[in-house]
Structure 1
Amino acid sequence: MIRTAFVYVAAAAAEIAGCFGFWAWLRLGRSAWLLPLSMLSLAAFAWLLTLVESNAAGRAYAAYGGVYILSALVWLWRVEGIRPDRWDVLGSTLCLVGAAIILFAPRTAV
């Protein structure tokens, strides 16, 4: 469980950093030199998700979604300087609960 949480947090950081590089280039007018690093970051994100202990890729990706949402709000606050409001926190909490249900629910073998 600790390993899964670490992988999800690392994957979220890699995905957000990679996507933000493209955002910075296209929307903020930053240098195109960000793009190779952004692509490497996105490749690391995809690789990290393969490390999650799950019997189905779709389930691993669905559970990751909740972690991604929380991580995006942390990025919003810490990198962009915009503090999430109570609705952001509530929405993120609901998503994390959903992610935990998806990831840790007892399953019968198929």
Structure 2
Amino acid sequence: MRFTTGMTILRSLALFALAALAEIGGAWLVWQGVREQRGLLWVGAGFVALGLYGLVATLQPDANFGRILAAYGGVFVAGSLAWGMVVDGFRPDRWDIVGALVCLAGVLVIMYAPRA
């Protein structure tokens, strides 16, 4: 599918952000439940969030599963660093930031480059 409007691209970017929130948040909840011994309620909430991630990914306007998941990988990298900063007080170094920017550039190329 070709992206023909700015609104379609904005919708796609919003879905990537929502998917990142669900997947990273879900993984974090499972981590907290297991590694930080907060209990099965946290683990269960994490499982629900991870399931929502899978659902959100299906809402992308592009019909190519491989393309969506490949591009989402770049969003996941950058989103994970951002989550760590906001939630866990992680401070990325310049190479973390450069790597995240490279990944995000890859997202833009994979998803939104003009195709014939």
Q: Write the mapping of 1:20-35 to structure 2, written as runs, cut at 5 A.
A: 20-35=28-43
Match of 2:17 among 9, 13, 21: 9
Q: Hey, what's the Cα distance between the residues in 1 that align with 2:38 and 2:85?
A: 21
Rounded to whole Å, the distance in 1 between the matches of 2:51 and 2:63 is 22
Question: For structure 2, which runs of at least 5 residues remain unmatched after alignment?
Answer: 1-8
Please state how far the C-alpha of 1:33 moved relative to its aligned partner. Answer: 1.1
Query: Partner residue of 2:94?
Result: 86
Name the Cα RMSD after superposition: 1.0
Look up the equivalent residue of 1:71 and give its one-letter code: G
1:48-106, Cα deviation, whole Å (9 max, x unpaired): 00011113111011111111111101111010101111111000000011111110122
Length, aligned pairs only = 108
Unpaired runs of 5+ in structure 1? none
Give me the identity figure in percent: 36
Give the TM-score taking structure 1 as reference length: 0.93
User: Normalised by the size of structure 2, how large is the TM-score?
Assistant: 0.88
Alpha-carbon distance in 1 for matches of 2:47, 2:63 = 27
Runs of 4+ off more than 6 Å: none
Amino acid at match of 2:92: P
Q: Which amino acid aligns with 1:10?
A: L
